[in-house]
Structure 1
Amino acid sequence: MRIDDERHVCRVLNDYRERLRRVETELGRLPGVSGGDRDRLCRSLGEVERRLEDVESTLTQDIERRARHRSLPRVLADWTTPRLGVLAQQAPEPLAVPRHYLTTAPPREPPSITLVTPSFQQGRYLERTLFSVLRQNYPNLEYVVQDGDSNDGSKAVLARYATALARWISEPDAGQADALNRGFAGTHGEIMGYLNSDDLLLPGALPYIASFFARHPKVDVVYGHRLIIDKYDRQLGIWVMPRHEDGALNVTDYIPQETLFWRRSAWEAAGGAIDTSFRYAIDWDLLLRMRGAGARMARLPRFLGAFRVHEEQKTSGERMVGSLECDRLRRRVHGRTLSPEELEIGVARYLRRHLVAHSVERIKARMPRRRASVPVLPPGPWSVATTKPHADDRAIDRAGHEQHAHAHG
């Protein structure tokens, strides 16, 4: 097939995928369609859309391969270009993690963790987020979902998972920051974090984070590496974070939000609330306030979360708002707006260190090592039993189930 013909087919496939997305959106508005029926229809449409995208992706890769050769300059550019901030880095591939992630155990006396998921109209991805958290089998988890009165089937999903949640509420709110404050209100966990309703926690993340906090009592805030996934749960790239550097945080925020956790003491010292005047840079604002209150931060050398790239996400739709809010935070730190040259200089050292860490991870990925696929949905109707990935987790799951049963009476 000629390249022009391949490009034409790609355009046609893309047009059909757009039509399928519109049908999925309209399904959420149809009266008289039950949540279960809507979920099944959306999954079927999603599978068709995925197959179309697979063909389109294959054709696109062939076009790129035929249009250029991998010359030495291109190879060098590939290995010397920072990947932080880049959301699509490679052709989609199955989501997988090192096998030892599945056997990460919590400390002997696991600290309590409060996790909040704010959500609005994310019924397509919400169950994946919930399952990624509950499959951690963490024995001392307080998990709260704060939904903004969604009408896309989210409430039906939450009702199915209700027995495993500390609470879920669906009510109108004033945006993500307000939803987070509502979700955190009345919680008690020693460690805190939030996970957006289209992202995932990777296997073993909560036990690993808890163990680090237990071993390092002077550290107040932690975060780790990120995987990037598409709307079909396929990996598109990685963000490998270098060792924490306060100076870089003065200029920009590369910290992957879905991997960010902090001690309640740091939260309270920073004011104990999310600033609702922010819509985009709420986590950077919180980080700067916690650091200003004396919090010590550390980057953990592990992939902790997966950030999902899709058409409806806030990160892609509010870039102008984000730019204004980031400038506002830089003026708070520096007393003025920074020039593009100052921004480049401010992150240059950090990005060089990122390149080294990223290259090491790419080399490791090419070495033979045992990896495990990451299930993103239960194999059947959800129950506590479906969150057990292997036999070694049975005791952990029993403890967590007994705690939830007691909490819900």
Structure 2
Amino acid sequence: MTTISVVTAVWNRATTIADAIESVASQDYPDVKHVVQDGGSTDGTLDVIARVAGPRVSLESARDGGIYDGINKGLTRATGDIVGLMHSDDLFAGPHILGRVAEALEDPEIDGVYGDLDYVSAGDTTRVIRKWRSGAYDARLLHRGWMPPHPTLYLRRAVFDRWGMYDTSFRIAADYDAMLRYLVKGRVRLAYVPEVFVRMRMGGESNRSLRKMIEKSREDYRAIRTNGVGGMGTLALKNLSKIQQFF
């Protein structure tokens, strides 16, 4: 059976980390390793992890250079043939999600799989605020700002080994840059499962303030130009596409 590693980078998320860990633990797929990379939390996060972590969890706590450096450290420790992320504010939409991932990647012609995502209220994860329905992958859509929902993306370990991890010179948009790198330069082949994989709490780093949103757009533009998928038009379409998620 194929091992799936789920990587969680966390720093000072005592109020949400238990949900993330318990969500991974609830998966009915039997061969799962949960790699938790803590950045030196001081708010009780480590106490929460110690209380809820089961035998699937491998924890390391050490200062890092930010979220993407923490993710990279976790990816380095991951041993699974298939690797994905569970952010410390997120949770799976159901106990069968990793089974869906493993099923899709039984096809040797597929390099990765992704699904849909619901943005939910930070205080009530049953209340859906935005619905990200990504649709099937088509490389031409990248020039229109399309991307798969990053928290739902699972890739074969070989993709990271060949095309690298997250560029930590990006503080907010390293996930977008990495996905473009894998899809454009790596030409990875993705399968789409039309099902909500992840519930993501609103209020993340990229939309925390106007300054953060401006910084995010600047980094998105750099990723777009670096990976050769367009310019300002692509950035505009990427941002406009979010509007339909509210309806």
Query: TM-score range, shorter-chain basis?
Result: 0.7 to 0.9
Distance in 2 between the 1:302 and 1:129 partners?
19
Deviations 1:52-87 (A, max 9, x none): xxxxxxxxxxxxxxxxxxxxxxxxxxxxxxxxxxxx
**What SS does structure 2 have at the residue aligned with 1:177?**
helix
Corresponding position of 1:334: 228
Q: Give the conservation status (yes or no) of the 8 Å contact 1:200–1:258.
A: no
Corresponding position of 1:223: 114
Q: Which runs of 5+ in 1 are unaligned?
A: 1-108, 363-409
Alignment of 1:10-409 (within 5 A): 109=1, 111-203=2-94, 204-214=96-106, 216-231=107-122, 232-233=124-125, 234-271=127-164, 273-291=165-183, 292-310=185-203, 313-317=204-208, 318-334=212-228, 337-339=231-233, 343-344=236-237
Q: Give the conservation status (yes or no) of the 8 Å contact 1:252–1:326.
A: no
Deviations 1:226-260 (A, max 9, x none): 11211121222322122212122234244222211
Deviations 1:296-330 (A, max 9, x none): 122211111111113xx202122122111111112
Distance in 1 between the 2:69 and 2:59 partners?
15
Distance in 2 between the 1:167 and 1:195 partners?
14
Shift of 1:338: 2.5
Q: Give the conservation status (yes or no) of the 8 Å contact 1:258–1:305.
A: yes
Distance 1:296 1:172, change over 3 A: same
Distance in 1 between the 2:191 and 2:101 partners?
11
Shift of 1:335: 8.2
Matched letter for residue 10 of structure 2: S
Matched letter for residue 58 of structure 2: R
Q: Which runs of 5+ in 2 are unaligned?
A: none
**What SS does structure 2 have at the residue aligned with 1:118?**
strand
Q: Give the conservation status (yes or no) of the 8 Å contact 1:248–1:347.
A: no
Q: State the TM-score, normalizing by the size of structure 2.
A: 0.87
Percent identity, please.
28
Q: State the TM-score, normalizing by the size of structure 1.
A: 0.54
Deviations 1:30-55 (A, max 9, x none): xxxxxxxxxxxxxxxxxxxxxxxxxx
Distance in 2 between the 1:279 and 1:248 partners?
25
Structure number with the higher strand fraction is 2
Distance in 2 between the 1:336 and 1:191 partners?
30
Matched letter for residue 5 of structure 2: T
Structure number with the higher helix fraction is 1
Distance 1:279 1:301, change over 3 A: same
Matched letter for residue 163 of structure 1: G
Matched letter for residue 264 of structure 1: R
Matched letter for residue 36 of structure 2: V
Matched letter for residue 198 of structure 1: D
Matched letter for residue 161 of structure 2: E
Deviations 1:89-140 (A, max 9, x none): xxxxxxxxxxxxxxxxxxxx3x110111011111111111111111013211
Distance in 2 between the 1:226 and 1:335 partners?
24
Q: Give the conservation status (yes or no) of the 8 Å contact 2:112–2:189.
A: yes
**What SS does structure 1 have at the residue aligned with 2:15?**
helix
Distance in 2 between the 1:339 and 1:230 partners?
31
Matched letter for residue 160 of structure 2: W
Distance 1:319 1:237, change over 3 A: closer
Structure with the greater alpha carbon radius of gyration: 1
Distance in 2 between the 1:336 and 1:186 partners?
35
For this pair of structures, how many residues does the alignment match? 238
Matched letter for residue 316 of structure 1: N
